[in-house]
Structure 1
Amino acid sequence: MSAPGVAYTRSGATSPSSNFRILQYIPDLETDMEARPLSSEALYQRHGKASTKVQKLFWYILYYLQIQFRITKYLIKDCISKPGIVIIQRALSPKLVFPWNKVLMRRVYTTTKFLIWDFDDNLVNSGEITDFERQLLVKNADTIVTTGEALKATIPAMARKRVIIMPTTDGQLRNIEPESMIANRRNTYETTVELLWLATASSLPYLQDIVPHLEESGRQLQAKLNKQLVLHVVCNKPLKYKPNNFTLDNVIWTSEIACKLTLQSHIGIMPLRDTEFCRGKGGFKILQYMSAALPSIASAVGINVKYIRDSKDGYLIGPAYTCSWEQAILRLSSDWQYYRTVSKAARQRWNEQYSYHNNLHQWNEILSQQFNSKIE
């Protein structure tokens, strides 16, 4: 017997968006949901790590063909079994749609009792979603879930009443007491300041932008506090740079490594550029850092200014704020008691407003109340 609902995601747990928007909640949902990753985790990783043009082309073709044929298989299954709930995470078919899949998508999207579209980036700006699928989802989705007002504004006005705002958050550390995480960082705080940057390769240019600030921060930390600066880059590709005043630790992303370094590091960073695409980003990394009682330093762009209270649970860097990257790093590195206060405030804010349990409750509300009202 098939599950009452199915959730289409780009890949499995190795896809941060798939995992932290949808998959992590499935075991705890009150409604039985079946996950349907459209690419294997191995192929998703190889596609993401490809560096040369030949490698990118080869792995992209395999990656894309697998997605298209899995779409065909699963949609035919849905036409037969008719699940009551279908969740589409980001876009079912990125960039383009095979003709026969258009027929199947139109059939499933228009006949499903309760259709949910969840997305956490500006998919139109990035070109990830086709006009065909976007129009189909805008017209037929009973509920549209996204991360903030900037992305809500990308939905046509007539459909915005169906939009629900839900941040992307990370539940891996929810059962660890913040005091124990903060106390663990005390062991290295007196000699080393460890920065953490968690992201995918598409965001590497934003990190490259602040390298001069990190060089100066490393120089000041050494001169004023006799501390070493370490930057952990956890990504599917490395930051190609040879630093002079800090240590660069390039680590290929895995969930386990990301969790380990989040617990180990002292400060999380999230640089961005002030572009339309960046203003639409969901700020997930900030909430991931907050969940670990980790103070954040982030560009004052988009939703970042909502998540961080400047100097209270992190720092915002921008024309309207007083600190530079160097000053923010130095302030969080100079006084353990202040650092501890900011760290506790970050986790408390996460607990109160952006926690795993808050999102789980919201998903249960969406799936139970609205679905039940449609089928009764």
Structure 2
Amino acid sequence: MLPTTDKMLINRDFNNITEKRKLILNKGQLNIVWVGTSYNLPNLQIVCEDLENSAKELSKRNINVTFFVISNKPLYYEFANINLENITWKREIVKDYFERSHIGLMPLVNNQYNRGKGGFKLIQYLSSGIVTFGSDVGMNGEIITNNTGFISNDSWANKIVEIASSPDYWEKLSRSAFSRYETKFSYKRNLDKINKILEE
């Protein structure tokens, strides 16, 4: 089984991008991203309160939170402590926002449809070295590890606060995320496997 992968979002200069993101975090700015079609926005709604709680705690530590929602329709939610940016999806702009983001989200309601998802969103995050947060539904549990992010159907708030409060910890997870993409989910890995099957 080969999960869908993406080579278009890979950072050409991963070390430079990582250092820039770490500097942003050191200056007290956490950027969270979610990308998906409007059909999946209800999945995002289930963690909005959690995000608000984490942002409220981070504000006490002088850390601001911006949430990039990249979709064909906007997310409607009244955050008190989060700067919500609804961005109309265009493939050419996604990479720019990914290169500015620290944490990528894939919350899922536990239903039959979502249990069939292949975790493409998470693989896109990994390819950009974004720390991944996902619900333990479908393929998510096979993609996210303790070294790349956090998987749970319970609260995410404390873990978000922990990562945002330690740029060094965030960097460690970010580098592990990119490494996991390269070794498990990369375009080259999939292509090599497909070629091997065809040769047989």
**1:242-274 deviation per Cα after TM superposition (whole angstroms, max 9, x unaligned):** 321101100010111111101111110110011
Number of the residue aligned with 1:363:
194
Contact 2:9 2:124 in 1 (8 A): no
Shift of 1:175: 5.9
Number of the residue aligned with 1:349:
180
Q: Secondary structure at the match of 1:264?
A: coil
Q: Secondary structure at the match of 1:231?
A: strand
Q: Secondary structure at the match of 2:99?
A: helix
Number of the residue aligned with 1:299:
135
Please point out which of 201, 211, 215 is paired with 2:38. Answer: 201
Percent of paired sites with the same residue: 34
2:65 and 2:9 map into 1 onto residues whose CA distance is 25
**CA RMSD of the aligned region, Å?**
1.4
Please point out which of 214, 219, 231 is paired with 2:67. Answer: 231
Number of the residue aligned with 1:218:
55
Number of the residue aligned with 1:314:
149
Please tell me whether residue 330 in structure 1 is matched to residue 161 in structure 2.
Answer: yes
1:239 and 1:318 map into 2 onto residues whose CA distance is 21
Please tell me whether residue 247 in structure 1 is matched to residue 83 in structure 2.
Answer: yes
Q: Which has the higher contact order (CA 8 A, sep 6+)?
A: 2
Q: Secondary structure at the match of 2:171?
A: helix
**1:226-247 deviation per Cα after TM superposition (whole angstroms, max 9, x unaligned):** 1111110000111022321101
**1:275-295 deviation per Cα after TM superposition (whole angstroms, max 9, x unaligned):** 111111000111100000111
**1:3-32 deviation per Cα after TM superposition (whole angstroms, max 9, x unaligned):** xxxxxxxxxxxxxxxxxxxxxxxxxxxxxx
Number of the residue aligned with 1:180:
16
Shift of 1:191: 1.6
Please tell me whether residue 192 in structure 1 is matched to residue 23 in structure 2.
Answer: no
Q: Secondary structure at the match of 1:348?
A: helix
2:28 and 2:179 map into 1 onto residues whose CA distance is 27
Shift of 1:210: 1.1
Number of the residue aligned with 1:288:
124
1:185 and 1:283 map into 2 onto residues whose CA distance is 24
Instruction: Give the number of aligned pairs.
Output: 199
Task: Give the AA of the match of 1:300.
Answer: D
2:78 and 2:149 map into 1 onto residues whose CA distance is 28
Number of the residue aligned with 1:97:
none
Shift of 1:325: 1.1
Shift of 1:187: 2.9
1:257 and 1:173 map into 2 onto residues whose CA distance is 10
Contact 1:232 1:250 in 2 (8 A): yes
1:358 and 1:297 map into 2 onto residues whose CA distance is 24
User: Taking structure 1 as the reference length, what is the TM-score of the superposition?
Assistant: 0.51
1:335 and 1:211 map into 2 onto residues whose CA distance is 22
Please point out which of 256, 267, 275 is paired with 2:103. Answer: 267
The answer for unaligned runs of 5 or more in structure 1 is: 1-164, 371-376
Q: Secondary structure at the match of 1:257?
A: helix
2:168 and 2:23 map into 1 onto residues whose CA distance is 14
**1:155-191 deviation per Cα after TM superposition (whole angstroms, max 9, x unaligned):** xxxxxxxxxx111111014462432221120231122
The answer for unaligned runs of 5 or more in structure 2 is: none
Q: For the structure 1 residues 183 and 175, does the alpha-carbon distance in structure 2 shift closer, same or farther, using more than 3 Å as the test? A: closer
Q: For the structure 1 residues 272 and 361, does the alpha-carbon distance in structure 2 shift closer, same or farther, using more than 3 Å as the test? A: same
